[in-house]
Structure 1
Amino acid sequence: MNKIIVGMLALVLVAVSVQAQQADARAAKRALAEYRLDPHASTAKLKKAIAAILPEPAGEDVSDPRFYILKGEIFNTLASQIVLVKQTGLGSLEELPQVDGVALKAFNALTTAVEKHAQSVNSPSYLLRDAMKGMQEAQGMLYNFGSYAFEALDYGSAYLHFSSGLACHEILKSQGEGSVLDDAYALMDQKYVTGMAALNNQMPEAAKPLLEELYQANYDNPAIYEGLYTVHANGEAANLDAAYRYLKTGREKYPQDASLLFAEINHFLKLSRLDELTDRLKTAINREPENQSLYLTLGSVYDNLYQRESSAGNSEQADKYFDQAFTYYSQSLEKDPTNFDALYSTGTLYYNRAASLTMTLSEMSGDFSAAGRGQFEALEAEVFAAFDKALPYFQKAEGINPNSVETLIALKEIYARINEPETSDALEERLEHLRNGGTNATSFFNK
């Protein structure tokens, strides 16, 4: 007997939930119809329709797709009003109902309607046609809202909207209906923006198949080559060789594209392939002559080449690279004389030369012959000359950033070597202050 009562109670609950859903649907449908009669008079009716349709129906036996079709229709209406305000500037977004992800909600409601229709053997065919009509309208809304999100740098939301637009296309095609993405180029464009949104949102696994498909289709946009390089060059399964093949193909196809050029420069920097960098950086400088960082980067490349050849004992080639490094560091400083990195790098260039010569000087210290002493003194003069040239660059760098540990170490060592212990000790004190967690409020050289 108890089981029968419980069963009857369940039937009553389902009946009540169905009646409540139907009442909500009637109220929402009536409010939507009234709003459409005069949408400019008041948004109260649209707000009423949304308030009536927002709650999810309760009960497991609620399967009528009409509720979800109406829900999709109401959300599509609100989405279209938002787009109208954004595109024309007429009206106010604040006056419209505030619903997060309204285009996504429309699409999800219509997707549910299609599922409910498929699950019911008695659902009339016209309901599927109504759902498809709503899907076609939702497609445009999803693209518009995805574009708004992309422009606002909200790449996660952009990806959700764009990928839902692709899913919408698949549903429409499965029912033999027309889609705004029936044009092959429009479909590729949609996949492109979806892939770019995924990539910008740090979702390489979502971006990869989309970009690969565009690559195979020879899609005409250089960004897909940089995107595929990024996908394959990062993460646990990173493969720089495979990644560079995409980049190399893109560089060959779009030799004038600056973004691909910079990606290639960064690739060779990552691999320390210095010899291949110089020409590419010079090309980049020719294209962007006011880009100071390019001069600094090229100076750094030549600096590293100088150190490599100097260590190998190739003094003639080392000197050539040294001169090139100084030239590009100087050009960087011409663009901005207060650039800390350029000042510090130039000082370091001379400091490292002095340190290298000091090692040679130490090896010569055991030769007490007249010729040996003469060579020693000549080389010693070179060491002090190099320190003298490094000093003003480090002083200016310290003036810009008095809390650079590396700069203070270099200055302290130089003053110790040129026999100015008081200055060296004062710099040591400032250095210890930093190491103990303090900061230097003012520059030592710009008091």
Structure 2
Amino acid sequence: MKQFFISTFIVLLALNIADAQEYKKQLKAANKTLAKYYLDPVANKANLDEAIASINTIFSADDAKADPEAWITKGQIFNEIAKAEMNKKVISDQLKQEFTLPTPQAGLNALESFEKAMSMAVKKSQTKDALAGIRESEDHLNNIGITYFQIQDYANSYLNFKASLKSHDILKTNKEASRLDDAMVKNDQVFYTAYAGYNSEYKNETLPLFESLYAGGKAQPFVYEALFNLAADKKDITKAMEYLAAGRAANPDDNGLLFAEINFYLKEGKLDILTDKLKAAIAKEPDNVSVYTTLGNVYDQLNQQERTAGNIAKADEYFNLAFDYFKQSLEKDPKNFDATYSQGALYYNKAASMTAKLNELSNDYSSAGTKKYNEIKAEMDGYFKQALPYFISAEQLDPKDQNTMIALKEIYARSGELNKSTEYKNKLEALGGN
């Protein structure tokens, strides 16, 4: 019986060794398949797909998952993939040919594999090999991050740059050299990581990165702008203004901070404060058409607020200021749709604001009431008539703008030109509007 148990144990041990040998053979086979891919990453993409599918199958087995050597091999494979694809990218750029990285996660997969290997290493040599792999993947992650940054794929850029910073931290913890040992290089890496994240869905993750740049001193103007916006988004207005003041003091001529503040006041609806900010922006960028248009829109909103409150004299003052800034915008860019449409909208909304009073008077059949009704209606119709040429011009600039068509349809209906009104009704329906 004892002999039987010994024999059974030997058989099971042999089977386990055989299984271990099998997944190692499969890893070698995957490497060979990848070797064909490396020869021509474009023509031999099927070899890449086959190799990665094989690797995924191998690591579905518990034995492979528990083997640091296997994880090191997996990391090395993905490092080689990243290297081959980046080399192909460089050559393609030189030849002015398009090339999209077939394996965008290669650097990330490599780092993850080496981290796994380190977490279960039982030999110094395994830790050493994993760290060597991380040092290599650090370069690949940076290059892949740059590649995505250049095409403004900021999400993928951020993930790779962030992993590069993580690689640096691992290497430093283990007293190994890193490409980010140079303080200036690391500072740049942190900045571009933060910038990429800020301009992607990972925006809210970037606060610690920007804070580290701010704490380091001599931060780029965008650091202050981002910190201002992040704090404002969290309704920490005191902190936001602290960052803004620091940014203005450090970079008095930077327009990014000014426009960040303008956008903040726009969102907050603090229009009276905003007008001064926009005038300052015009003084700094006198050829920036959008600033004139924005200031015109701000004055228009103030005009509508005062008109609704019954302060007609003040409303007319804001109306004239709005019209003047739209006019200045068109002097710089005669084909600016927003300014053209907005001039028409000024008159249209002024006319529309009179309909409530007109409806009120429609029930007054006295001679005085009828006279007042006719006076207001004539004034209202006059404003609609003044709006018409601006909307016609706006339609010529953007024939598919539905708001323009709605305005034209209503104006023609009010003036009794029903054929023209129906024409715009049909145009709207063709575009899916009402």
With the shorter chain as reference, the TM-score category is 0.7 to 0.9
| Pair 1:102–1:91, CA change in 2 (3 A) | farther
SS across alignment from 1:239: coil
Q: Is the 8 Å Cα contact of residues 430 and 440 (structure 1) preserved in structure 2?
A: no
Task: Quote how far apart the aligned CAs of 1:294 are.
Answer: 2.1
Aligned pairs for 1:230-379 (under 5 A) are 230-234=229-233, 238-239=234-235, 241=237, 244-245=240-241, 246-312=243-309, 314=311, 316-355=313-352
What is the aligned counterpart of 1:60 among 56, 59, 63? 63
Q: Given the alignment of the two structures, is residue 395 of structure 1 paired with residue 399 of structure 2, yes or no?
A: no
Report the AA paired with residue 262 of structure 1. Answer: F
Q: 1:94 to 1:29 in 2, by over 3 A?
A: farther
2:15 to 10, 13, 25: 13
Deviations 1:28-71 (A, max 9, x none): 89999x99xxx99xx99xx89x9599463544377554444344
For the aligned residue pairs, the C-alpha RMSD in angstroms reads 4.7
Q: Please say if residues 79 and 103 of structure 1, whose CA atoms lie closer than 8 Å, have aligned partners that are also in contact.
A: yes
**Structure 2 matches for 1:1-400, cutoff 5 A?**
10-23=12-25, 51=51, 54=55, 56=58, 58-60=61-63, 65-87=68-90, 99-117=103-121, 120=122, 123=123, 125-218=124-217, 220-234=219-233, 238-239=234-235, 241=237, 244-245=240-241, 246-312=243-309, 314=311, 316-355=313-352, 385-400=382-397
Which residue number corresponds to residue 445 of structure 1?
none
CA contact (8 A) 2:391 2:408 kept: yes
**Structure 2: how far apart are the matches of 1:59 and 1:409?**
66
Long gaps (5+) in structure 2: none
Q: 1:220 to 1:22 in 2, by over 3 A?
A: same
SS at structure 2 position matched to 1:60: helix
CA gap of 1:144–1:277, structure 2 versus 1, over 3 A, is same
Q: Secondary structure of 1:153's partner? A: coil
Summarize the Cα distance change of 1:14–1:152 in structure 2 as closer, same or farther, 3 Å threshold: farther
Structure 1: give runs of 5+ residues left out of the alignment.
Answer: 442-447
Q: Encode CA deviations 1:10-35: one digit per residue, 9 max, x unaligned.
A: 53432112223444567789999x99
CA distance in 1, matches of 2:105, 2:372: 79
Work out the CA distance in 2 between the residues paired with 1:390 and 1:290: 27
User: 2:195 corresponds to which letter in structure 1?
Assistant: M
Give the superposition deviation at 1:177. 1.8
Partner Cα distance (1:90, 1:343) in 2: 45
CA distance in 1, matches of 2:131, 2:14: 34
Letter in 2 for 1:171: I
Q: 1:10 to 1:431 in 2, by over 3 A?
A: farther
Classify 1:154/1:394 alpha carbon distance in 2 versus 1 (closer, same or farther; 3 Å).
closer
- State the shift of 1:202 in Å: 0.9
Q: Structure 2 CA distance, aligned partners of 1:206 and 1:160? A: 11
Q: Is the 8 A contact 1:17 1:59 kept in 2?
A: no
TM-score (norm 1): 0.73
Residue type of the alignment partner of 1:76: N
Structure 1 Cα separation of the partners of residues 216 and 254 of structure 2: 20
Corresponding residue for residue 429 of structure 1: 422
Task: Say which is worse superposed, 375-384 or 386-395, in terms of deviation.
Answer: 375-384
Q: Write out per-residue CA displacement over residues 63-88 of structure 1, whole angstroms, 9 at most, x where no aligned residue.
A: 55444434444543453444445446
In 1, are the aligned partners of 2:413 and 2:421 still within 8 Å (CA)? no
What letter corresponds to residue 21 of structure 2 in structure 1? Q
Check the 8 A contact 1:188/1:219 in 2, yes or no.
Answer: no
Contact kept, 8 Å, 2:158 with 2:193, in 1: the verdict is yes
Question: How many residues get paired?
Answer: 416
Q: Which moved more, 1:186-195 or 1:157-166?
A: 186-195
SS, match of residue 190 in structure 1: helix
Q: Percent of aligned positions with the same letter in both sequences?
A: 38
| Counterpart-to-counterpart distance in 2, 1:16 and 1:145 | 38
1:226-276 Cα offsets, whole Å, 9 max, x none, are 333444455xxx426257434454344333222222222111111121122
State the secondary structure of the residue aligned to 1:182. Answer: coil
Give yes or no for contact 1:14–1:59 (8 Å, CA) kept in 2: no
Residues 343, 54 of structure 1: alpha-carbon distance in 2 compared, 3 angstrom cutoff:
same
Q: TM-score, normalised by structure 2?
A: 0.75
The 8 Å contact of residues 281 and 294 in structure 1, kept in 2 or not, is answered as yes
Alpha-carbon distance in 1 for matches of 2:137, 2:332:
52
Structure 1 residues 171 and 155: alpha-carbon distance in aligned structure 2, compared to 1, 3 A threshold: same
1:141-175 deviation digits (Å, cap 9, x = unpaired)? 21111111222233332222222212212221222
Q: Once the 2 structures are TM-superposed, how far is the Cα of residue 116 of structure 1 from its aligned partner?
A: 2.8
| Structure-2 change in CA distance of 1:91 and 1:262 (3 Å) | closer
Q: What letter matches 2:132 in structure 1?
A: K
